[in-house]
A = this chain, B = another copy of it.
Amino acid sequence: MTERTVGAAERLVIVGGDATGMSAASQARRMRSADELEIVVFERGRFASFSACGIPYWVGGDVPDRDALIARTPEEHRARDIDLRMRTEALELDIDGRRVRAKDLESGDESWVSYDKLVLATGARPIRPQLPGIDAAGVHGVQTLDDGQALLDTLDRTEGKRAVVVGAGYIGVEMSEALINRGYEVTVVNRGTEPMSTLDPDMGAQVRTAMCGMGIEIVCDAEVTEIRTDESGRVRAVVTTDAEYPADVVVLGIGVQPETTLARAAGLPLGEHDGLLTDLAMRVRGHENIWAGGDCVEVLDLVSGRERHIALGTHANKHGQIIGAGIGGGYATFPGVVGTAVSKVCDLEVARTGLREKEARAMGLQFVTVTIESTSRSGYYPGTAPMTVKMLAERHTGRLLGVQIVGREGAGKRVDIAAVALTARMTVEQMTALDLGYAPPFSPVWDPVLVAARKAVVAVRQRG
């Protein structure tokens, strides 16, 4: 039996009720009334519209409760004529028949729901390597509020205070800080040579120093081979090729991959990172009535010209808004990203945008690299702190290719200067003339980004 549209002229079905799905629903509803457009959203979890990025701060105690991470409750969405069905999982897409098979996870009931327009906002899932013991009790991902709650429940129930975090990307780093804040002994087991593989290793080394300073033990160049459990099936240790690290709780921060199981089964186009491929209006390529956005799609990297998978709330929200506008009869596009990311490790701020050395090389680009040390404020102003800026510029043309910044207060968001410059395809020479805000509490008279740009200009000329 298929549930068909009643009353409204059209039905929009959205699979996934987080940032992209609910932004799309809200934007479409602002533009089209319930008479014109019925909106049905399937969310398999128990929460919608939550900030996954806030989970480490909730676990660490900086954010007092889970509800603070919920932007809008299901009831608030329903009050705006959005038929949000919680704990309902989409099991199958019938593209030709324009319908979705959905299962109520509470009752077990299944039904086909027809659509005129479809949005896939299925997000990402944590990478769980196929290791012995990976599904043991006490091993946690932190992708959803349900995951966060499960981790907190484990922490409450567990007496031991030894935590192992697998992976030292930004989630791994944030989670290790959260666990230190809760009084755990934390060991981070990392495959790369330095934490934060989103940075070049020379910049990542500064993150390692900061983590050590907080009392986090960090093991690099380490390959996890097994999660060892006790007789009850609970986690007991994380085993690498070289050593064994006792663990009362394990957090996986290895990264995520697009959740595109449904899309793949339905034959929708996926890219080399397994994300859905869309056009500029966020419509799935070749499908005029199907949109996709957020962590389940690939996005165009404007610097390299290639598709990438970047799971980030800010992109997911933009996608949702663009999709909703398109469905509502408006017009908006998502031109792409430049790869900006910022995070905080204790009082260390870490930021990047554009390409790292490795990425630039892989794209066939030739470039110069400069690194400068400067300060966040005028040298004489109280609270000034060191800042390192690394800059990549293309050989001959001098086009900015990427910036990485590590420092204290005021370092992280300086990367936005480079993000806008990358979007505008500026050269480092053009950047030296940028009219950036200057006053002693905010910057030296030459902003650190300008200092880096000046040095990059010299390097481009010398390299020829």
Report which A residues bind B (CB closer than 8 A): 19, 51, 53-54, 57, 62-63, 68-69, 170, 312-315, 317-318, 321, 332-344, 349, 351, 353, 378-382, 409-410, 412-417, 419-421, 423-424, 426, 430, 432-443, 445-447, 454
What is the copy number of this chain in the assembly? 2
- Whether A378 and B423, one on each chain, are in contact in the complex, defined by CB atoms closer than 8 angstroms, is no
Instruction: State A370–B435 Cα separation when bound (angstroms).
Output: 23
Instruction: State A440–B54 Cα separation when bound (angstroms).
Output: 6
- Whether B337 and A443, one on each chain, are in contact in the complex, defined by CB atoms closer than 8 angstroms, is no
Given A53-B439, A54-B378, 7 more A-B residue pairs with CB atoms under 8 Å apart are: A53-B445, A312-B438, A318-B432, A332-B432, A336-B433, A416-B437, A419-B435
- Whether A342 and B437, one on each chain, are in contact in the complex, defined by CB atoms closer than 8 angstroms, is yes
Of the A-B pairs whose beta carbons lie under 8 Å apart in the complex, a sample of 17, sorted by A's number, is: A51-B445, A54-B440, A68-B380, A312-B438, A313-B438, A315-B435, A334-B433, A342-B437, A342-B439, A344-B439, A344-B441, A353-B435, A410-B413, A412-B437, A413-B414, A420-B424, A423-B426
Contacts of A379 in B (CB 8 A): 68
- Whether B314 and A69, one on each chain, are in contact in the complex, defined by CB atoms closer than 8 angstroms, is no
A266 to chain B, nearest CB (A): 29
Q: Of B57, B382, B420, which contacts A381 at CB under 8 A?
A: B57
Residue of B nearest to A422 (CB): B435
Instruction: State A441–B454 Cα separation when bound (angstroms).
Output: 30
Instruction: State A454–B51 Cα separation when bound (angstroms).
Output: 21
Instruction: State A256–B411 Cα separation when bound (angstroms).
Output: 32
- Whether A412 and B442, one on each chain, are in contact in the complex, defined by CB atoms closer than 8 angstroms, is yes
Contacts of A447 in B (CB 8 A): 314, 416
A314 to chain B, nearest CB (A): 4
Instruction: State A404–B12 Cα separation when bound (angstroms).
Output: 40
Contacts of A416 in B (CB 8 A): 414, 416-417, 434, 436-437, 447
Instruction: State A416–B436 Cα separation when bound (angstroms).
Output: 5
Residue of B nearest to A341 (CB): B437
Contacts of A409 in B (CB 8 A): 409
